Amino acid sequence: MSTEFLDLPQLISAGGTVRLPGSKSISNRVLLLAALAEGATEVRDLLASDDTERMLDALKTLGVGVASLGGENWTITGCGGHFPVRQAELFLGNAGTAFRPLTAALALAGGDYVLKGVARMHERPIGDLVDGLRQLGADISYLGNDGFPPLQLKPAAIQPGGVVKVRGDVSSQFLTGLLMALPLTGETVAVDVVGELISKPYIEITLAIMARFGVVVERDGWQRFTVKAGSRYVSPGTIYVEGDASSASYFLALGAIGGGPVRVEGVGSESIQGDVKFAEALAQMGAVITTGPNWMEARAPQGGLVAVDLDCNHIPDAAMTLATAALFARGTTTLRNIASWRVKETDRIAAMATELKKLGAEVEEGADYIRVTPASLQPAAIDTYDDHRMAMCFSLAAFGTPLRINDPKCVGKTFPDYFACFAKVSKAAPVIAIDGPSASGKGTVAARVAAALGYDYLDSGALYRLTALAAQKAGVDWADESGVAAIATRLDAEFTAGDIRLNGELVGDSIRTEEISAGASKVAALPAVRDALLFRQRTFNRAPGLIGDGRDMGSVVFPQAPLKVFLTASAEARAERRYKQLIEKGFSANLADLLLDLQQRDERDSQRSVAPLRQEADAKLLDTTGLTIEQAVNQVLAWSKEAM
* Closest CB to ligand DC among residues 387, 549: 549
For residues 571 and 183, what is the distance between their CA atoms, to the nearest angstrom? 82
Catalytic positions: 317
- Nearest distance in Å: CB 520, ligand DC: 4
* Closest CB to ligand DC among residues 7, 242: 7
Would you say 102 and 64 are in contact if contact means Cβ atoms under 8 Å apart? Answer: no
For residues 142 and 126, what is the distance between their CA atoms, to the nearest angstrom? 10
Strand order in the sheet with 163-167: 163-167, 189-194, 224-227, 218-220
Coil, strand, or helix at residue 82? Answer: coil
For residues 438 and 460, what is the distance between their CA atoms, to the nearest angstrom? 12
For residues 74 and 542, what is the distance between their CA atoms, to the nearest angstrom? 44
For residues 567 and 545, what is the distance between their CA atoms, to the nearest angstrom? 20
- Nearest distance in Å: CB 499, ligand DC: 16
* Closest CB to ligand DC among residues 168, 441: 441
Across the chain, which distance is largest between two alpha carbons, in Å? 99
- Nearest distance in Å: CB 487, ligand DC: 15
Distinct helix (H) and strand (E) counts, the chain: 20, 34
Cβ neighbours around 270 below 10 Å, total: 11
For residues 389 and 264, what is the distance between their CA atoms, to the nearest angstrom? 18
| 562 CB-contact burial (10 Å; exposed 0-12 / middle 13-18 / buried 19+) | middle
* Closest CB to ligand DC among residues 345, 597: 597
The binding site for ligand DC (CB under 6 A) comprises 438, 460-461, 464-465, 520-521, 524, 550-552, 601, 605
Would you say 604 and 521 are in contact if contact means Cβ atoms under 8 Å apart? Answer: yes
Would you say 568 and 621 are in contact if contact means Cβ atoms under 8 Å apart? Answer: yes
- Nearest distance in Å: CB 507, ligand DC: 12
Would you say 447 and 546 are in contact if contact means Cβ atoms under 8 Å apart? Answer: no
Q: How far is CA 625 from CA 475, 498, 573, 575, 631, in A?
A: 39, 26, 6, 11, 11
Helix, strand, coil percentages, rounded to 5, for the chain: 40, 25, 35
**CA-CA-CA-CA torsion for 66, 67, 68, 69, nearest 10 degrees?**
-130
- Nearest distance in Å: CB 359, ligand DC: 27
Nearest to 123 by CA among 345, 317, 351: 345
- Nearest distance in Å: CB 10, ligand DC: 20
For residues 340 and 359, what is the distance between their CA atoms, to the nearest angstrom? 24
* Closest CB to ligand DC among residues 426, 467: 467
* Closest CB to ligand DC among residues 357, 501: 501
- Nearest distance in Å: CB 511, ligand DC: 8
Nearest to 316 by CA among 345, 287, 290: 345
* Closest CB to ligand DC among residues 346, 521: 521
Residues in the chain: 644
- Nearest distance in Å: CB 597, ligand DC: 11
* Closest CB to ligand DC among residues 185, 467: 467
Strand order in the sheet with 259-265: 288-292, 295-299, 259-265, 11-19, 426-428
Cβ neighbours around 446 below 10 Å, total: 29
- Nearest distance in Å: CB 621, ligand DC: 18
* Closest CB to ligand DC among residues 426, 537: 537
Element (H, E) at 67: strand 65-68
* Closest CB to ligand DC among residues 413, 578: 578
Cβ neighbours around 122 below 10 Å, total: 16
* Closest CB to ligand DC among residues 180, 434: 434
Q: Which residues contact 151 (CB under 8 A, 6 or more apart)?
A: 103, 114, 115, 126, 130, 140, 141, 142, 143
- Nearest distance in Å: CB 624, ligand DC: 15
Would you say 432 and 563 are in contact if contact means Cβ atoms under 8 Å apart? Answer: yes
For residues 589 and 582, what is the distance between their CA atoms, to the nearest angstrom? 7
- Nearest distance in Å: CB 488, ligand DC: 12
